[in-house]
Amino acid sequence: MFLKLKHLAACIALLAVIMPATAQAQSSSVTKLFNRAAEYAKKQDYEKAIPLFKKVLEKEPENKNVLYNLGNCYLNINDRHDSAAVYFKRSIELLDDDDYNTDIGIDLHLSLAKTQQLLYKYEDAMATYNKMSTFIGPDMNTLQEEIDREIEICNNGIHFMKNPVKLEVHNLGSNVNSSYDDHSPLVSADESIVLFISRRRSSYSQILEDGQFSEKIYIANKEGENWKKAKALKEVLERDAHESGVCLSADGNELYILRSDFQGQNLYVSEYDGDNWSEPYLLPEGINSRYNETHASINADKSVLFFTSDRKGGLGGLDIYMVRKLPNGNWGKSVNLGNNINSPYDEETPMIHPDGKTLFFSSEGRNTMGKFDIFYSHMNADSSWNEPVNMGYPINTPDDDFFFVPTVAENRAYMASSRFKENYGGSDLYMIEYEEPEINRMAVVNGRLNAGRPYPWDNIVISVKEKDNDLLIGEYRPNPVSGKYLMILEAEKNYDITIRGNSIQDTKSDLTITREMTYLNNQQSVSIGDIMVTGLIPQEQLNSQQTPVTSTQGDAVATDLKTTSTTSNQTTETTGKYTVQFITLKMPLENYDKFIQLDTSKIQVYKCNDGNYRYVYGSFTYFKDAKKVKEELIKATGYSDPFVRYFWQLQKMKSEN
């Protein structure tokens, strides 16, 4: 994620400032050696830069600039901050008094103080900051404000380290983690799925200048108590780009993705149909903007989305916003969460707890103990937020801490880190357990709607209200094919459940959640079995909706696309809601010869605004019919990744040219 690059970019800028002055003072051979080292450092390949800088230092042991560069290289390598402090101190010792209030003098002292903070030497860091206050110019108000802020952060760090949080750390193991950086874990409500970002070697990623590979999304499933081998989520891969999964819905069927494109950083969503993930689709304007949107988190019933943006009108850099889904299924107007959550600094990685009322997020503001710290806040009945609480040490550190993923259990979460002893290399994924809560009050409930026959469950809503006060807890939607659903409810309460939709008779039920049903008391979820529902659609009508894949008129005739309108945007009229996308191409096909086994009259092509041609098959009212045809298309074409998608998505993607 781009957050990690901020300090690196600053270091590279400093390198660019000091290199010319250094090069002028060195002999030709030493200059070449220095320039080679600087090039590696700019590429963030510090392991190769360090020995070259050291060779220069052998020739010029009192070169302040070389010492400074060595310090910056070590500052950007895990567990080498102590070496960074040594080189910064040596360079400062070589400064004349007149050099203190110069760019390199100020940069050296700032770098030393930040390094001392990362080493948990807060008292030493404050001494360095106080020293700076004695020699900087009286007109350097912005720098003095930064110094005062850093001293405040040091005091916060001292406080939190005196009151540590009890923590148990469990590495997810070698089936999940690698010798490269693995980070940004996402888990389903029942913890049966973990998705994460990895910079490991694979056929889907490219090696980058820092020696690691481009970020790709991986998925692992849990079998019993163990995680199975992680695999690349190839359906959503973009070969030449970093991409990050930022949110997984509670039921594990929606994946929100961060991508950088021509409009900046934007949020996409991919949907799982039980077999395949769909091509990621850009979230609408209002959530995305011409500014940067970097993270998202959706609540359990998918009615509220939290996201970060640096758009105009915010309180700082990146702010956290909230948007609610309207009754028509569209997203409403985005609202800034205000100064109870947002600060003049950056906020990032909001994660809404399964209870829908507790928001975990990272902030550079408030009482952080250094860089980004993880906080949580509770939402009140009027949608206002309580004062955020710092999660404390060692969950938080003097370095960047973000992407804290809570589970239904209040003392259990997932996060990535490189600082724990059990580590396979780079940052690893961990499950952590902290401060046992007074009660386990949430239950993960799963069930299934049953009409006594195969039945489509499109547009069905399961409303859950508390019996005592008629308070709407959530509106859940079953899987449109299987009728399965998942809900997260508080224990020791009684609920009224209403199942409604145009294609069924309204069905009412009640449910009591006991203490024994809560999360971890009864494994990760509890099943309440089938709820019988009366379907109103005659079976004959359902049968008539099914579309055969292969031609029913003898041998299919190959279509010459040059003589049809299908290469333009004048696609045939569709009355259905769904279709099956089976291939995407940069250039349109000239004919359908390779699809002669299909009923080619049901193929449509959309020329889209990203320059691609998307080929889809059929038009379906019900998701289950589209999915059945998708499975037949896989057999008929040999393609492994066709997926069901909405026609309205294609209409919005259509090119105007």
Each residue of 314-323: pLDDT tens digit?
Answer: 998 999 999 9
Would 561 be classed as within a structural domain? no
Among 487, 517, 540, the domain boundary falls at 540
Q: Say how far apart CA 355 and CA 301 lie, in whole Å.
A: 10
- On whether both 512 and 634 belong to a single domain, the answer is no
Range with lowest mean pLDDT among 3-12, 303-312, 423-432, 505-514: 3-12
Three-state SS at 133: helix
- On whether both 352 and 316 belong to a single domain, the answer is yes
- On whether both 242 and 291 belong to a single domain, the answer is yes
Provide mean pLDDT across the span 289-309. Answer: 95
- On whether both 343 and 246 belong to a single domain, the answer is yes
Total tally of structural domains belonging to the chain: 4
- Counting residues of the chain whose pLDDT is more than 90, the rounded percentage is 65
- On whether both 244 and 148 belong to a single domain, the answer is no
DSSP bridge partners of 217: 197
Tokens 């008539």 found at? 544
- pLDDT tier, 398 (very low <50, low <70, confident <90, very high otherwise): very high
Cβ neighbours of residue 504 under 8 Å, at least 6 residues apart? 451, 460, 533, 534, 535, 536
Would 49 be classed as within a structural domain? yes
Tokens of 87: 């080189």
Q: Say how far apart CA 360 and CA 349 lie, in whole Å.
A: 8
pLDDT at 41 over 80: yes
Would 10 be classed as within a structural domain? no
pLDDT at 70 over 90: yes
Provide mean pLDDT across the span 484-499. Answer: 93
Q: Say how far apart CA 657 and CA 651 lie, in whole Å.
A: 13
255: left (phi over 0), alpha (psi -120 to 50) or beta: beta
Q: Say how far apart CA 368 and CA 389 lie, in whole Å.
A: 10
**Which long-range CB contacts under 8 A does 24-32 form with residues at least 24 apart?**
25/63, 26/56, 26/59, 26/60, 26/63, 27/59, 30/56, 30/59, 30/60
Tokens 């209200």 found at? 465
Which domain does 620 fall in, by range?
A: 578-653
Calculate Rg over the CA atoms of the chain: 28
Confidence at residue 23, expressed as pLDDT on a 0 to 100 scale: 44
pLDDT at 211 over 80: no
- On whether both 320 and 229 belong to a single domain, the answer is yes
Look up the CATH number of the domain holding residue 267.
2.120.10.30
Global pTM reads 0.87
Provide mean pLDDT across the span 192-213. Answer: 84
Range with lowest mean pLDDT among 34-43, 54-63, 593-602: 593-602
Q: Say how far apart CA 380 and CA 113 lie, in whole Å.
A: 40
Would 409 be classed as within a structural domain? yes
Would 572 be classed as within a structural domain? no
Q: Which residues of 241-271 are buried (b: 16+ CB within 10 A; e: fewer)?
A: ebbbbbbbbbbbbbbbbbbbeeeebbbbbbb
Q: Say how far apart CA 104 and CA 8 lie, in whole Å.
A: 17
Q: Phi, psi (5° rounding) for residue 601?
A: -65, -15
- On whether both 204 and 221 belong to a single domain, the answer is yes
| 8-state DSSP, 184 | E
Note whether 278 and 270 are within 8 A (CB).
yes
Note whether 604 and 579 are within 8 A (CB).
yes
Q: How many residues does the chain have?
A: 657
Tokens 């094919």 found at? 481
pLDDT at 10 over 70: no
Burial of 39 (0-12, 13-18, 19+ CB in 10 A): middle
Cβ neighbours of residue 551 under 8 Å, at least 6 residues apart? 597, 598, 599, 600
Look up the CATH number of the domain holding residue 84.
1.25.40.10
Q: Say how far apart CA 264 and CA 340 lie, in whole Å.
A: 28
Q: Say how far apart CA 129 and CA 143 lie, in whole Å.
A: 11
Q: Phi, psi (5° rounding) for residue 549?
A: -85, -50
Q: How far apart are the first and last CA of the chain?
A: 35
Confidence at residue 238, expressed as pLDDT on a 0 to 100 scale: 63
Q: Which residues of 516-531 are buried (b: 16+ CB within 10 A; e: fewer)?
A: ebbbeeeebbbebeeb
Q: Say how far apart CA 207 and CA 213 lie, in whole Å.
A: 4
| Edge-to-edge strand ranges of the sheet holding 472-476 | 472-476, 461-466, 493-500, 507-513
Note whether 268 and 279 are within 8 A (CB).
no
Would 1 be classed as within a structural domain? no
DSSP bridge partners of 432: 169, 413
- On whether both 142 and 171 belong to a single domain, the answer is no
Cβ neighbours of residue 4 under 8 Å, at least 6 residues apart? 400
Confidence at residue 15, expressed as pLDDT on a 0 to 100 scale: 44
Confidence at residue 79, expressed as pLDDT on a 0 to 100 scale: 82
Tokens 């799925």 found at? 193
Confidence at residue 242, expressed as pLDDT on a 0 to 100 scale: 67
Return the higher-pLDDT residue of 517 and 119.
119
pLDDT at 494 over 50: yes
Look up the CATH number of the domain holding residue 530.
2.60.40.1120
Would 106 be classed as within a structural domain? yes
Each residue of 524-575: pLDDT tens digit?
Answer: 788 889 999 999 999 888 887 666 665 544 333 333 333 233 443 334 456 7
- On whether both 219 and 307 belong to a single domain, the answer is yes
Among 162, 193, 218, the domain boundary falls at 162
- On whether both 374 and 229 belong to a single domain, the answer is yes
The β-bridge relationship of strands 319-324 and 335-336 is antiparallel
How many Cβ atoms are within 10 Å of 647's Cβ, its own excluded?
19
Note whether 642 and 582 are within 8 A (CB).
yes
Q: Which residue in 638, 635, 557, 543 sits closest to 603, CA to CA?
A: 557
CA-to-CA dists, residue 477 to 156, 329, 628, angstroms: 45, 12, 20
Geometric angle at alpha carbon 317, from 313 and 319, rounded to 5°: 70
User: CA 503, 509, 512, 517 torsion: positive or negative?
Assistant: negative
Confidence at residue 439, expressed as pLDDT on a 0 to 100 scale: 52
Confidence at residue 440, expressed as pLDDT on a 0 to 100 scale: 55
DSSP bridge partners of 351: 360
Confidence at residue 17, expressed as pLDDT on a 0 to 100 scale: 38
Confidence at residue 25, expressed as pLDDT on a 0 to 100 scale: 47
- On whether both 193 and 279 belong to a single domain, the answer is yes
Among 141, 162, 183, the domain boundary falls at 162
Would 282 be classed as within a structural domain? yes
- On whether both 146 and 110 belong to a single domain, the answer is yes
Each residue of 439-481: pLDDT tens digit?
Answer: 557 889 999 999 999 999 999 999 999 998 888 999 999 999 9
How many Cβ atoms are within 10 Å of 283's Cβ, its own excluded?
20
